[in-house]
A and B are shown apart, each in its own frame.
Chain A
Amino acid sequence: TQLLEQSPQFLSIQEGENLTVYCNSSSVFSSLQWYRQEPGEGPVLLVTVVTGGEVKKLKRLTFQFGDARKDSSLHITAAQTGDTGLYLCAGAKAAGNKLTFGGGTRVLVKP
């Protein structure tokens, strides 16, 4: 049983469509990080959220941290083929502590 549950596990959409990935837990986290990973490579940090209710935008990507700091979402607007990859959420119970990862959401954006 994973401490962080991501949904969906797999998402296939057409270029230009929007998508949302969810990351849920029954535990409270001090911070939550979102990563994107491509095959054979390490995860690349996209964003860190630390405050309950926080919303961060990174170009077409919008990240939200739940008010209770137990869940998060990633929304991509007008997806592009370059957005294809494995999206991972990871939570830390305190600054500098180990990260607990969700199982990942594999996103495929078709041209």
Chain B
Amino acid sequence: DTGVSQDPRHKITKRGQNVTFRCDPISEHNRLYWYRQTLGQGPEFLTYFQNEAQLEKSRLLSDRFSAERPKGSFSTLEIQRTEQGDSAMYLCASSYDTEAFFGQGTRLTVV
């Protein structure tokens, strides 16, 4: 399977804990995006990379959130000191040009 891969699929964490998610994009896709989706809503943009450079960050991305793509391949999204409001589906997508392909997402539940 050469699609976008996200790990883990599900994460339950206690409020205040740190969590890290991983995304492996489609090979040779130079752009990688993170989105967040809450129930009943469309995905909201968080941040995106072109190769290893983080080119844009949404105002939704508070200072508790950090994303990296150190070698221009896989990416990680870390949330520090999680809050209940962080509970959502975190989606990763990659693209080479116009079309973006999504992974299956990581469902985060903060209890």
Listed in ascending order, the chain A residues whose CB lies under 8 Å from chain B are 2, 4, 6, 30-31, 33, 35, 40-45, 48, 50, 88, 90, 92, 95-96, 98-104
Contacts and interface: CB of A to CB of B under 8 A. Distances in A.
B63 interface: no
A96 B97 contact: yes
Interface of B: 4, 6, 31, 33, 35, 40-45, 48, 50, 56, 91, 93, 95, 97-105, 107
Contact of A43 (B31, B97, B102): B102
Contact of A44 (B31, B95, B102): B102
A40 B89 CA distance: 8
B44 A99 contact: no
A92 B100 CA distance: 10
Given A41-B104, A50-B98, A101-B35, 15 more contacts: A4-B42, A33-B99, A33-B100, A41-B105, A42-B91, A45-B101, A90-B43, A96-B98, A99-B33, A99-B93, A99-B100, A100-B45, A103-B41, A103-B42, A104-B40
18 contacts: A4-B42, A31-B98, A35-B102, A40-B105, A41-B105, A42-B91, A42-B93, A42-B104, A45-B100, A45-B101, A95-B97, A96-B95, A96-B97, A98-B45, A98-B56, A99-B33, A99-B100, A101-B35
Contacts of B98: 30-31, 48, 50, 92, 95-96
A96 B44 CA distance: 16
Contacts of B103: 42
B100 A42 contact: no
A104 B99 contact: no
A99 B32 CA distance: 12
